[in-house]
Structure 1
Amino acid sequence: MTYMFKYDSVHEQWKHHELKVKDEKTLLFGEKAVTVFGIRNPEDIPWGEAGADFVVESTGVFTDKDKAAAHLKGGAKKVVISAPSKDAPMFVVGVNENEYKPELDIVSNASCTTNCLAPLAKVINDRFGIVEGLMTTVHAMTATQKTVDGPSMKDWRGGRAASFNIIPSSTGAAKAVGKVLPQLNGKLTGMAFRVPTADVSVVDLTVRLEKEASYEDIKAAIKEESEGKLKGILGYTEDDVVSTDFVGDSRSSIFDAKAGIALSKNFVKVVSWYDNEWGYSSRVIDLVCHMAKA
């Protein structure tokens, strides 16, 4: 674990406080001791003894409420699932986190793509209304993909070598927006292309608007929100950027003003970048902090 904290191919070496091993069950982050477990079954992990009030369930395995509840048996008070969940309440910081109630013990932070899409869709829907829309995410490689061709649990295309292919894939990110923004339920769907880059992804959202708006109107609305209520969540840029310019960007969604285009005043394509690792992890922390204050 110390090695994985110290070295990262994308985010480079750990630049913060000193990290070292105290003993076989303890890491030191500066002077702060952090207990380490090597236990397969979540309900056997003594979270209570370690003083862990919040557990971030990031294995990708225990993503429904019943499975995630195993952490509560070990003494945790709250569980945040760092993935979409079929039955846990879903929250996207900047969009619907204020709907969280203290009696909720298990919640989902949605996906990195939903965290990018939802703030963007919220602004457009609030200002102009969305009749319907399609999303495509051009998504960096992830750990579930294959180094070389092989069988995939998901589909045949998902088993092809990640670093050699542009791979069409399914995603529930657009539909999940309907869970955090009920007014958009059933109005959005989408798909993904997995591409051979290590980090940073981009959402392409094409929508039909209720109210007529020029592309300049849409840009102005997004810029205003990025400097106001959604500052730190939604970004805005008019620079000639590419994906690596967003490595380490903690914002959920950075609107690319030069990349979008309008066909008419009711039909528009908008583009927004996101560091699917760093940005999403930042929102997990934000959600935990929000829950702790509730």
Structure 2
Amino acid sequence: MKLSKARINCFSQPGCLMQFLPETVHSPSKCFLPCFRGCCIMSSCSAGNLFWSNLTLGEQLTCCSAVWPVIALLGEVCNGFGRIGRLVLRACLQKGIKVTAINDPFIDLQYMVYMFKYDSTHGRYDGDVHAEDGKLVVGNNVISVYQCMKPAEIPWGEAGAQYVVESTGVFLSIEKASAHLQGGAKRVVVSAPSPDAPMFVMGVNEDKYDPSSMTIVSNASCTTNCLAPLAKVIHDNFGIEEALMTTVHAYTATQKTVDGPSAKAWRDGRGAHQNIIPASTGAAKAVGKVIPELNGKLTGMAFRVPVADVSVVDLTCRLSRPASYAEIKEAVKKAAHGPMKGILGYTEDAVVSSDFVGDAHSSIFDAGAGISLNDNFVKLISWYDNEFGYSNRVADLLLYMHSKE
């Protein structure tokens, strides 16, 4: 039986380009692909597929697999080998994914070694990283390094690629992302919100993915990945009449270290480490795309704050059915330990943002931080590592899509 070897092409900020190719033999008794800090994902033999199809998502994420993916990185013209690209690499390597190639036109090999080895937020990479014979070596992974300028120039077909994750932040529409298909790719996952591609959030609506008609899809944003699982649990259990979201968001590479020009939104040009900056976000409205029943019932805004990583969602909602705060906590806890295990977390500890650096969940509900005005009006709080949590979901969506081939 065939096992899917994955070739995952990482782009730069914010994300990566991923692909899968069939190769070695799968033995259902050899389950070894760790995921979500020790869990495993996906089975690719016929017996495994039958077993897989009868599991909830949470159970799938704790299953085992014999998938050995391969990753290649493609750098975007401006951002190069950026934040999310490097963290997707880390996440994939933690899951047993083998890396094969990196392409970035502006970062040479020695600088790639340095950038991947050292990270001011997530710490030094725990493993050997060096250059050898013109290649990047990470542990036992020997990675070819290329410097193509355009995604369409990369011969995905010759490389045996099937899936590409488009993470430049430029090719967001179906038309633009389809450029990857010219090189032989079969499917594209956009690691950002797309204006017209079907949008998926793991744990919420991935079951709507249709491989027969969808070649370009979106993994939404990090904030949508935090908000949507929580909104789904609340809406499924109590109903949401209307809601407002605020994300208190870590600064990102698009902001300024000191005041500078920002023609699109003047406040965005103010020093990121000096200010709390109100900003727009489409994350809340995007929830309506993945949970159609909430379309038009939810909107929101952001505050960019002087922290390097980890953000928090404040969801204030009016419920359709009365519920005490204790009942809400119990519903979220049940989902976090059940069907959304690995996606939605739950804590009653007195935590702060730095406690979630490196957390692979999409959303971690803070039971002690929320409040209730009455049984119909509540404020709910959920944390997320906007870098590492999202990087894990990019890989997981690809694995899920592959399981449906």
TM range (shorter): over 0.9
Q: Which residues in structure 2 correspond to 1:15-34 (within 5 Å)?
A: 15-16=126-127, 18-24=128-134, 26-34=135-143
How much is the aligned-residue C-alpha RMSD, in angstroms? Answer: 1.3
Between stretches 31-40 and 190-199, larger displacement belongs to: 31-40
- Name the structure 2 match of 1:77: 186
TM-score (normalised: structure 1): 0.96
2:156 corresponds, among 47, 56, 59, to 47
Inter-partner Cα distance in structure 1 for 2:190 and 2:133: 29
Q: Which residues in structure 2 correspond to 1:1-294 (within 5 Å)?
A: 1-16=112-127, 18-24=128-134, 26-103=135-212, 104-294=214-404
Inter-partner Cα distance in structure 1 for 2:138 and 2:403: 24
SS for the counterpart of 2:146 is coil
**One-letter identity of the residue aligned with 2:139:** G
SS for the counterpart of 2:391 is helix
Inter-partner Cα distance in structure 2 for 1:95 and 1:36: 36
Deviation at 1:192, TM superposition (A): 0.1
The change in CA–CA distance for 1:22 and 1:49 in structure 2 (over 3 A counts) is: farther
Deviation at 1:259, TM superposition (A): 0.5
**One-letter identity of the residue aligned with 1:151:** P
Inter-partner Cα distance in structure 2 for 1:52 and 1:4: 26
Q: Deviations over 1:161-198 (max 9, x none)?
A: 10100000000000000000001000000000000000
Between stretches 182-191 and 151-160, larger displacement belongs to: 151-160
Inter-partner Cα distance in structure 1 for 2:301 and 2:192: 17
Inter-partner Cα distance in structure 2 for 1:4 and 1:256: 33
Inter-partner Cα distance in structure 2 for 1:138 and 1:227: 26
SS for the counterpart of 2:316 is strand
Paired residues of 1:37 and 1:45 also in contact (CA < 8 A)? no
Q: Deviations over 1:105-159 (max 9, x none)?
A: 1111000000000000000000000000000000001011111111114300011
SS for the counterpart of 2:380 is strand
- Name the structure 1 match of 2:13: none
Q: Deviations over 1:60-115 (max 9, x none)?
A: 11111111111111122221111000011100000011111113211110000000
Paired residues of 1:141 and 1:196 also in contact (CA < 8 A)? yes
The change in CA–CA distance for 1:37 and 1:55 in structure 2 (over 3 A counts) is: farther
Between stretches 190-199 and 101-110, larger displacement belongs to: 101-110
Q: Which 4+ stretches in 1 moved above 4 angstroms?
A: none
SS for the counterpart of 1:149 is coil
**One-letter identity of the residue aligned with 1:213:** A
Inter-partner Cα distance in structure 1 for 2:391 and 2:256: 23
Deviation at 1:224, TM superposition (A): 0.6
Paired residues of 1:35 and 1:50 also in contact (CA < 8 A)? no
SS for the counterpart of 1:47 is coil
**One-letter identity of the residue aligned with 1:9:** S
Inter-partner Cα distance in structure 2 for 1:221 and 1:2: 45
SS for the counterpart of 1:69 is helix
Deviation at 1:47, TM superposition (A): 2.1
Inter-partner Cα distance in structure 1 for 2:144 and 2:401: 23
The change in CA–CA distance for 1:34 and 1:50 in structure 2 (over 3 A counts) is: farther
Paired residues of 1:212 and 1:266 also in contact (CA < 8 A)? yes
SS for the counterpart of 2:158 is helix
**One-letter identity of the residue aligned with 2:119:** D
Q: Deviations over 1:40-77 (max 9, x none)?
A: 22111122223332222111111111111111111222
Deviation at 1:34, TM superposition (A): 3.2
**One-letter identity of the residue aligned with 2:390:** Y
TM-score (normalised: structure 2): 0.70
